């Protein structure tokens, strides 16, 4: 119990996104009360059982003031005796305990054993592992409904990036990639389209992921922006009739690694002259000039330039209004940073399902926030990228 109390204290001090935490506190507090009452009654709601000891008698409303905000609860009533959840009194200490339970469940994959122990530490009884598993299943249902939803319309720009987490697999601790796909549609709206967990270097993995997006309805992809992951470029060509844009920021980091510390500013200034050009033709011409200037002192860097020109400058073929956003995976950096912050709390995930549960919930929350924000990308040029343009009919004058 001491270890459990320490875990509660530590988790209570950890920060969390207010909206996510409030929603999860309300969601699990309600389910915990339902499970507790079910245990006290000796049978489920509406279930006929000779061993039933009590039955329900509706609900009473109760507002709960927490650090995450005001939460509306419906406290179950019993026909015999009264029921009041122990975690509501005393409020301050108990609220920290419940917040810790939610965080423990939320960031550690809702392990049935750990949640069961933490619930008992809060003074609640009658919650079995099967009931805790049902709580997990309800969370998973919401996440998978989001991740598996149909994709409608044309999505000309698709960003794909990966962050790495550790998971237990067959008795070993291994590193796996959490792949996130974000896209912009022809209305300028940005959405999270999907995620997957697996090895990042294998072409079959990339192909399966992209095909899963295609099966859900993803179409109209003109440009895919990502880092230079092995196998991804081939998978893009196999699944989509789209151009691949190598992330400009990642390329710059790789390029500067070929120069000494004292020479990096000079090399950076040279490379930036390429991206200052107004047209694709001018950018290509400047690219070759820079490569020739680097060839004598930095032969490996010049060779890298010769090989990467088409992939790094692919974005120049698209509308100027969009170039800043489609030249790199930077639009995903903030999202990946938040995912990393949450997953670092966990350390080592027990299984892949727990990764999907946590990251999927974060992506669902982020996607909802994006829907409330203004249009992500200017409409200028987006309609011209659609495969389903409405043809304009010329006027006909009848003589």
Mark whether 142 and 160 lie in a shared domain. no
| pLDDT class of 61 with cuts at 50, 70, 90 | confident
Mark whether 204 and 299 lie in a shared domain. yes
- On whether residue 396 sits in a domain, the answer given is no
pLDDT above 50: residue 394:
no
Mark whether 161 and 283 lie in a shared domain. yes
pLDDT above 70: residue 339:
yes
Mark whether 107 and 184 lie in a shared domain. no
Give mean pLDDT, residues 104-113: 48
User: For the chain, how many structural domains are there in total?
Assistant: 2
188 phi and psi, to 5 degrees?
A: 85, 5
- On whether residue 393 sits in a domain, the answer given is no
Mark whether 193 and 336 lie in a shared domain. yes
pLDDT above 70: residue 216:
yes
Tell me the CA distances in angstroms from 368 to 4, 25, 61, 348, one per residue in order.
34, 18, 28, 28
Residue 129's pLDDT is 56
Mark whether 229 and 334 lie in a shared domain. yes
| pLDDT class of 385 with cuts at 50, 70, 90 | confident
d(CA 328, CA 247): 4
Close Cβ partners of 99 (under 8 Å, ≥ 6 residues apart): 11, 12, 16, 21, 25, 66, 67, 68
Beta bridge partners of 348: 166
Give mean pLDDT, residues 186-213: 90
Single residue among 112, 146, 180 that ends a domain in this structure: 146
pLDDT above 60: residue 204:
yes
Average model confidence (pLDDT) across the chain: 79
Residue 125's pLDDT is 52
- On whether residue 282 sits in a domain, the answer given is yes
Single residue among 146, 179, 208 that ends a domain in this structure: 146
| pLDDT class of 20 with cuts at 50, 70, 90 | low
Residue 192's pLDDT is 95
pLDDT tens readout for residues 243-300: 999 999 999 999 999 888 889 999 999 999 999 999 999 999 999 999 999 998 999 9
Mark whether 47 and 135 lie in a shared domain. yes
pLDDT above 50: residue 210:
yes
- On whether residue 386 sits in a domain, the answer given is no
| pLDDT class of 1 with cuts at 50, 70, 90 | very low
Is the Cβ–Cβ distance between 385 and 222 less than 8 Å? yes
Residue 356's pLDDT is 87
E strand intervals along 149-246: 157-169, 172-184, 190-198, 223-226, 243-246
Among 3-7, 20-24, 196-200, 276-280, the range scoring the smallest mean pLDDT is 3-7
Mark whether 85 and 168 lie in a shared domain. no
d(CA 326, CA 34): 48
Mark whether 142 and 233 lie in a shared domain. no
pLDDT tens readout for residues 32-45: 888 888 877 877 77
- On whether residue 274 sits in a domain, the answer given is yes
Parent domain of 252: 153-372
Residue 178's pLDDT is 92
pLDDT tens readout for residues 160-183: 988 899 888 888 889 999 999 999
pLDDT above 70: residue 14:
no
Task: Name the percent of the chain lying above pLDDT 90.
Answer: 34
Residue 106's pLDDT is 46
Residue 136's pLDDT is 62
pLDDT tens readout for residues 359-380: 888 898 888 888 888 888 888 7
Paired tokens of 345: 């709390």
Angle between helices 333-346 and 91-107 (to 10 degrees): 110
278 phi and psi, to 5 degrees?
A: -90, -30
- On whether residue 379 sits in a domain, the answer given is no
Mark whether 262 and 360 lie in a shared domain. yes
Count CB neighbours of 78 within 10 A: 16
d(CA 6, CA 27): 24
Single residue among 123, 146, 169 that ends a domain in this structure: 146
pLDDT tens readout for residues 130-152: 655 565 666 678 889 999 999 99
Residue 101's pLDDT is 47
């Amino acid at each position: 119990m001491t270890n459990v109390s320490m875990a509660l204290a530590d988790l209570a001090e950890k920060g969390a996104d207010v909206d996510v935490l409030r929603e999860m506190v309300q969601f699990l507090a309600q389910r915990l009360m339902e499970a507790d009452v079910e245990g006290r009654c000796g049978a489920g709601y509406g279930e006929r059982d000779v061993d039933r000891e009590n039955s329900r008698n509706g609900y009473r409303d109760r507002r709960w003031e927490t650090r995450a905000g005001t939460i509306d609860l419906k406290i179950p009533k019993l026909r015999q005796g009264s029921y009041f959840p122990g975690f509501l009194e005393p409020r301050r200490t108990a609220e920290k305990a419940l917040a810790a339970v939610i965080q423990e469940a939320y960031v550690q994959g809702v392990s049935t054993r750990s949640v069961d122990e933490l619930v008992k530490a809060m003074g609640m009884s009658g919650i079995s592992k099967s009931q805790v598993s049902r709580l997990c299943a309800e969370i998973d249902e919401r996440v998978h409904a989001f991740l598996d939803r149909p994709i409608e319309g044309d999505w000309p720009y698709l960003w794909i990036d990966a962050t790495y987490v550790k998971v237990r697999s067959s008795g070993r601790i291994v590193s796996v990639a959490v792949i996130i796909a974000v896209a912009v549609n022809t209305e300028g709206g940005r959405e999270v389209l999907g995620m997957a967990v697996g090895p990042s270097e294998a072409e079959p993995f990339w192909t399966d992921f992209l095909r899963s997006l295609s099966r859900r309805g993803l179409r109209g992809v003109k440009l895919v922006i990502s880092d230079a992951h092995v196998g991804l470029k081939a998978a893009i060509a196999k699944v989509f009739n789209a151009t691949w844009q190598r992330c400009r920021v990642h390329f710059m980091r790789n390029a500067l690694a070929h120069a000494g510390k004292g020479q990096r500013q000079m090399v950076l200034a040279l490379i930036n002259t390429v991206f200052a050009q107004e047209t694709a033709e001018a950018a290509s011409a400047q690219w070759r000039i820079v490569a020739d200037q680097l060839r004598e002192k930095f032969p490996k860097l010049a060779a890298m330039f010769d090989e990467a020109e088409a992939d790094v400058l692919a974005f120049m073929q698209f509308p100027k209004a969009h170039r800043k956003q489609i030249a790199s995976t930077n639009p995903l950096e903030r999202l990946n940073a938040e995912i990393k912050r949450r997953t670092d709390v966990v350390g080592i995930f027990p299984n892949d399902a727990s990764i999907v549960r946590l990251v999927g919930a974060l992506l669902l929350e982020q996607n909802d926030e994006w829907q409330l924000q203004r249009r992500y990308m200017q409409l200028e040029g987006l309609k011209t990228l659609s495969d389903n343009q409405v043809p304009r009919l010329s006027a006909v004058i009848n003589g």
